[in-house]
Structure 1
């Protein structure tokens, strides 16, 4: 395995990984360079914001459990797969299902966070529900996807993380999804 030399390295807060301007290329000279964020780091951040409950028109509640994140490097997106339970006055009993959403990422400079955006419903599945109820849920599903994951924070950079980058006149730029996590590209700040 061939690796690119680390050009710049700064320790991150709390003994985290090094912030570098070159990444492990694994014999891929086109591997993106920048600040790495692992899938495990994102999974931990998302776990802090779930479970969540969403009422549906006073008829039932949807309880979403912590999503399991998957990397989709070919589309430069992520997928969140989560268990969901539907229960309430309109149903005789609780029903278990699955809810999958795909999304892109954006960097929010005001609070130094990576956030989910451009959500697309991939699947909402309740095998034991009546077809009319499933149809109603599928109508509501895009709103549920938007409410449950839109702008969910997947990672937060600290001021200490960004101090060396800022000192070089750079800032976070494009975000690339790789096979092992994310790489936040670094770009020159506008004058």
Structure 2
């Protein structure tokens, strides 16, 4: 038993500390850890983003600042947003706050945002007409902008040990330090 655990640990270390850890308890499944820094870096690469609204305005979304919400097993984010376009005489800066759950996508080995919940979309000084337009379209735009955003992609070497043990990524747990991806027996 101890020898098997040491072999698993040595294999994991040989993979370059890829984040896969095996626990000495025979009933425990291995897990993969993604730090909050890794998540922030991966998300920042996909921004800024621009979304047009009915040919009247454009929303420019800046890189979000992620928050870990372990109590509800979700991630939160707040991002700076700028709105401008033909319907406005000038641009307005604001903030967008939302939270979301996570899921694993086997086809490309990615961790993605899903079950988006918009908490607020605020712009200081925005006139009532455009403000109402954004209130109406804001949640849909948030879903379009961030639904299924890839937060992290597992590399083949990250999954090699688990794959060899007949396991695949399962539950994703948000902790105070990042994500822990548990492994479960592969579905046949």
- Under TM normalisation by the shorter chain, which class is it? 0.7 to 0.9
Distance 1:65 1:179 in 2: 24
8 Å contact kept, 1:33–1:183:
no
| 1:59 Cα deviation after fit | 0.8
Structure 1: gaps of 5 or more residues: 1-5, 23-31
Corresponding residue for residue 48 of structure 2: 51
Structure 1 residue 72 displacement after superposition: 0.6
| Partner Cα distance (1:97, 1:85) in 2 | 6
- Provide TM-score, normalisation by structure 1: 0.86
> What is the Cα deviation at residue 33 of structure 1?
6.3
In 2 relative to 1, CA 47–166 (structure 1 residues): closer, same or farther, beyond 3 Å?
same
Q: How many equivalent pairs are there?
A: 177
Deviation at 1:165, TM superposition (A): 0.5
Following superposition of structure 1 onto structure 2, how do residues 30-45 of structure 1 map, counting pairs within 5 Å?
Answer: 34-45=31-42
Q: Unaligned regions of 5+ residues in structure 2, if any?
A: 24-28
RMSD between superposed Cα atoms in Å = 2.0
The answer on whether the counterparts of 2:18 and 2:157 sit within 8 Å (CA) in structure 1 is: no
Q: Aligned with 1:155: secondary structure?
A: strand
* Residue of structure 2 in register with 1:139 after alignment: 136
Matches within 5 A, 1:109-128: 109-128=106-125
CA contact (8 A) 1:21 1:35 kept: no
Residue-by-residue CA offset, 1:73-93 (whole Å, 9 max, x unaligned): 111000121000011111111
Aligned equivalent of 2:62, options 56, 62, 65: 65
After superposition, the C-alpha distances for 1:137-186 in whole angstroms (9 at most, x for unaligned) are 01101111111111111011111111110000111000000011000011
- Find the counterpart in structure 2 of residue 19 from structure 1: 20
Instruction: Determine the C-alpha separation between the residues in 1 that align with 2:101 and 2:14.
Output: 25
Question: 1:54, 1:12 → 2: CA distance?
Answer: 44
Partner of 1:105: 102
Q: Is the 8 A contact 1:119 1:146 kept in 2?
A: yes
